[in-house]
Structure 1
Amino acid sequence: MTRIITFFCFLIVQIGFSQTAENYLEKIRNNEALLTAFFQQMPKGGDLHHHFSGSIYAEPLLERAIAEDFYLDLESMAVSKTKPSNGNWETFSSLQSSGKLDFYKQQVMQTWSAKDYNGSVPSDDLFFDSFQKFEPTIQGHFAEGMLELKKRAIAENVSYIETQLSTIPCDMKLDDLADFNSKLRDAAKQKDEKAVLKLLDELYKSLQQKDTKKYAEDFNTNFIAKLHKDLKMDDERFTMRYQNFVLRFMDPVDLFKNLTIAFISANDSKLVAGVNIVSPEHGETSMKDYWLHMVMFKYCHSKFPEVKYTLHAGELTLGLVQPEDLTWHINDAIYIAGANRIGHGVDIAYEENAYDLLRYMAKNNIPIEINLGSNEFILKVKENRHPFTLYKEFNVPIVISTDDAGILRTNMTEQYVLLAKRYPDVSYEIIKKYVYNSINYSFIKDNSVKKQLLKDLDARFKTFEAKFSKN
C-alpha cells in the first residue's frame, strides 16, 4: 500500500509540474520575448531535418575565407581557393589593402544567408544558391562545423542532431553505362515501373562489378567514424548521427550510383542513420525525374530493407510550380518510395486524395518534419496557410526541426516560439509530445542509445518543470 501511495504522489507531482508549465505558457503565449526565454530553457530533444553546411552560420565561414585569403567573385559573392578563369575575382587581402573589405564582408553576409534580407532577389534563389557560394569554406573544415553545432545545441537544450553531413566521394567511371540514362527516362515517361526496376537491376549489377562497397567503406571508416570518434561527438549531454544524401539534379546513372553507395554505407554503419535526397524540388531535373527517383528508393529498399530513409517531398507551393505538380510528390514518396519520414510536406493540401494520404501517414506512423522558419522564408508559407494544422488534425506524428539554421539565421528555440505563437491550440503537453517524437522517430540504430536519450529527456523535463512550481 505504501508503494501505491508513493507512486500516486509522484504522479500527482509530475502532473502538477506539467500543468504549472502549461499555465505559464498560456500566460505568455503572445509575448515573444517571454516565449523565447521559456523555450530556450525547455528541453527540445532532437533536430531531425538538419543540413550540416546550411546550419553553419556565415560569420565563421567568412572569417575562414579571409584568413586563408580566398578569392571572392565581386559579382556573385562566391569564393574559391584558386582564381577561376572567368569572373571578376579578387583576394580578400587585396580588398583589405584597397579599403573595400568591410563593404564586401557585408555583401557576403547578405548573399550567404538571410541576414538583412530585403527582397532584392527571390528568397528561394538566395537560399538555394548560397550553398555553392560558401561551399569551398566547408571542405576540409567539417570538424570545426561539427563542434560549433554541438556547442550551440547544448546551449539551447537540444540533445540530438541527425545531420546530412556530406555526399560520399566517388570517382567511379560510368561512361560504359551512359545508355541507361535515356533508357530509364524513357521507361519513366511511360510510368512503366516493371521496366524501370528491370533496368535498375541491370545497372545495380554493373555497379557492383565496379566495387561500390569500397567507396562506402572508405567513407564510413575514414570520414564518419574517424571524425565522430576524434571529436568525441557523443557524451552525456549530446548525441549526433548522420544521414547520407544524393542530389536530385544529377543524371539517373550518377544519382543511382550515389544512392546505391549511400544505402550500402547506411546499412553497414551504426553512425549513418539513414538516407535522404536533396536539392530544389522544383528544379527542372528534379521535377522531370521525381517519379524515377522514388522508384530508385524502392529498389534500394528491396536490397537493403533495414535502411531507413526520409525524403524531402512537397517542398512546393502554388505559384512555384504548376498546380498539377502539387498533387503527387508526397503520394509518390510514401506509396512508391516507402519513405519512413517526410521532410517539409508543404503541398499536402493540394495532394490527390489528401485525406486518405494523411490517414495513411497517421496509421503507419510516418512523421512529418515541420520546418516553420524555412517554409516561411523559402516558400512564403506561414500561419494558417501552413499545413501544420492539417497534419495535427489527422494525428500525423509531428517533429519540429530547423532545416538550415545558419542560412536562415535561426535556431531550434525560434521554431518552438513560432509554433506556440502561431498556433494557440497547441498546448504545452502537445509540444512536449513533439519533443519526444524527435527521439522516438529518429533513425538511431542502437536501442540503448535511444532509450538513454529518452531517459535523459525525462530528467531534463523534470528539472525544467520544477522551475515553475516555485513561482
Structure 2
Amino acid sequence: MTRIITLFCFFIAQIGFSQSAESYLEKIRNNEALLTAFFQQMPKGGDLHHHFSGSIYAEPLLERAIAEDFYLNLETIAVSKTKPEKGNWEKFSSLNNKGKLEYYEQQIMQTWSVKDYNGSVPSDDQFFDSFMKFEPTIAGHFAEGMLELKKRAIAENVTYIETQLSTIPCDMNVSDLADFNTKLRQAAEQKDEKAVLKLLDELYKSLQKKDAKKYADDFNNNFIAKLHKDLKMDDDKFTMRYQNFVLRFMEPVDLFKNLVIAFISSSESKLTAGVNIVSPEHGQTSMKDYWLHMVMFKYCHSKFPDVKYTLHAGELTLGLVQPEELTWHINDAIYVAGANRIGHGVDIAYEANSYDLLKYMAQKNIPIEINLVSNEFILKVKENRHPFTLYKEFNVPIVISTDDAGILRSNMTEQYVLLAKRYPEVNYETIKKYVYNSINYSFIQDVAVKKQLIRDLDNRFKTFEAKFSKN
C-alpha cells in the first residue's frame, strides 16, 4: 500500500508541477507509457478514415464463428456458414471434438489480423486478404459491431466516427449494358474525357430507367436509419455517420451503377455522410481503371453537387508499383475527381509537381487523412519516410485516423502516441488543432450536430487541461 501511495504522489507531482498540458507533453516525448496515458485521456474528436469490418477485433468474430458452428477452411483459414463444394472445410464443432480447436483459433487470430505477424507473407497481402476470410461472420451482425466500436470509442475519448459500414445491396441486372465496359475502357485508354462523360451520361439514363433510386432508398430507410435509431448510436457522448463506398476491382458498369446508387443515397440521407472508393489501389483492375474511376466521380458530382467524397489515393510506395505509377494518383483524385478529402496520400513526394499540388490542397482546404499504423504495416512507410512532415510543411489540413484498427490491433490513442514520439516538432497546440480538424472537416451534414461536437470538444479539453494546472 505504501508503494502505491508513493507512486500516486509521484504521478500527481509530475502533473502538479507542469505549467500546462503542452509542457508536460514535452517532458514525456520519449516515454511511450507516459504518452499512452496522456493521449488515452486527451479528447480525440473524430475518426474520419474508418472501415467498419476492418475495425472489429478478431476475437468477437471468432467467438461468433464458433458459436454459430461455421465451417473453417483448414488451408486458407476462411470461414463459411454453409459448406462450399471445393476445399478442405470442417465445422468448428468437429475441430473441438478432435481437440484441434485451440490450434486453429491461433491460426485464425494470426490470419484475420496482424497478431504475431512474422513476415511469412507480404504485409499488404496479409492485410487485404484478411477481409474476405472473416466477412461471413459480419453479415447479419452489424449491430454488435457498431456497439463494440461505440463502446471502445467512448472509452478512449473519441466522440465521432465516420465509418464505411457496408456496400449498398443491389441485384439490378445490367447484362444488357455490358458493352459499355469495352467502350469506357477504350475511351479511357485515350484519356478522352469528353467521350467518357458522354458514355457515362448514356449509362446514367439507363440506370435511372432501372430504378437505381429504389436501392438507395431501401438502404437508407431499412438498413442505415433503422440500425442507427434502434441502437441509439447518437447520444451526448458519441455520434456516428456513414460513408457509402464502391469497390475498385469491379467492372466499369457495375462500379458506376454502385457509385450512382451511393451518391443518390448520400444525397437523400443526413446519416450517409459521403462516398468513398476502396480495395487495394495497386490491384490490377484498380491501376488499369484508376483514371476512369476519377472521371466517374467527376460525373456523379455534376449530378449531385452537394454530396461530399473522400478518396483513397496514393496508398502506394516505391517498389509496390512501377515508379511512374507514383506520379499521378493524388493529382487525379484532386484535379479530375474533385475529392473533398484524401485518404493516405503516401506517395505525395513522388507526385508530379508535388509542391504545386500541396499548395493547392492547402489553399482549397483539402485535408489529408493520416494513418500512421496502417502505412507502417501495409507499406513499410514510417518516421521520416512518411510524408506527414511534407503535408505539415505546406499547411495542408491534417486529420489523424485509424483506418482498420481491428485488423491492425491498434486504436486511436496509438496513432497520437506515434505522432508525438516520431515528430517532436509537432507541439500540443498543433495536435489539438488536428483533433478539431477531425470534426471541422467531417462530412456531417447537420450543422447543429457539428457545432455541438465542437462545443463538446471545448468542454472536454477544458477539463483535460485543468489536470495539468499548477497546484
* CA pair 246-17 structure 1, distance change in 2 beyond 3 A: farther
Q: Which residue of 2 aligns with 1:115?
A: 115
SS in 1 for 2:358: helix
* Shift in Å, 1:34: 0.2
Give the distance between the partners of 1:19 and 1:429, measured in 2 at CA.
14
Q: Which runs of 5+ in 2 are unaligned?
A: 1-15
Q: In percent, how many aligned pairs have the same letter? A: 87
Answer yes or no: is the 8 Å Cα contact 2:46–2:158 preserved in 1: yes
Give the distance between the partners of 1:449 and 1:137, measured in 2 at CA.
33
* Shift in Å, 1:254: 0.0
Cα deviation, 1:109-150, whole Å, max 9, x if unaligned, reads 000000000001111001000000000000000000000000
Amino acid at match of 2:282: H
SS in 1 for 2:342: strand
- 1:64 and 2:64 matched: yes
* Shift in Å, 1:18: 10
Cα deviation, 1:58-100, whole Å, max 9, x if unaligned, reads 0000000000000000011000000001111000000000000
Equivalenced residues, count: 456
Q: Which residue of 2 aligns with 1:165?
A: 165
Q: Which residue of 2 aligns with 1:241?
A: 241
Give the distance between the partners of 2:25 and 2:369, measured in 1 at CA.
23
* Shift in Å, 1:17: 12
Q: Which runs of 5+ in 1 are unaligned?
A: 1-15
- 1:315 and 2:315 matched: yes
Give the distance between the partners of 1:109 and 1:452, measured in 2 at CA.
39
Answer yes or no: is the 8 Å Cα contact 1:18–1:465 preserved in 2: no
- Give the alignment of 1:188-267 within 5 angstroms: 188-267=188-267
Amino acid at match of 2:208: Q
Answer yes or no: is the 8 Å Cα contact 2:17–2:470 preserved in 1: no
SS in 2 for 1:468: coil
* Shift in Å, 1:19: 6.0
Give the distance between the partners of 1:430 and 1:123, measured in 2 at CA.
32
- Give the alignment of 1:33-432 within 5 angstroms: 33-432=33-432
Cα deviation, 1:11-39, whole Å, max 9, x if unaligned, reads xxxxx999610000000000000000000
Cα deviation, 1:397-432, whole Å, max 9, x if unaligned, reads 000000000000000000000000000000000000
Give the distance between the partners of 1:358 and 1:102, measured in 2 at CA.
51
Q: Which residue of 1 aligns with 2:3?
A: none
* Shift in Å, 1:229: 0.2
Q: Which residue of 1 aligns with 2:24?
A: 24
Answer yes or no: is the 8 Å Cα contact 1:18–1:429 preserved in 2: no
Answer yes or no: is the 8 Å Cα contact 1:72–1:92 preserved in 2: yes
SS in 2 for 1:76: coil
Amino acid at match of 2:307: V
After TM superposition, the score normalised by the length of structure 1 is 0.96
Answer yes or no: is the 8 Å Cα contact 1:400–1:438 preserved in 2: yes
Q: CA RMSD in A?
A: 1.1
Give the distance between the partners of 2:211 and 2:129, measured in 1 at CA.
34
Give the distance between the partners of 1:52 and 1:197, measured in 2 at CA.
32
Give the distance between the partners of 2:344 and 2:86, measured in 1 at CA.
37
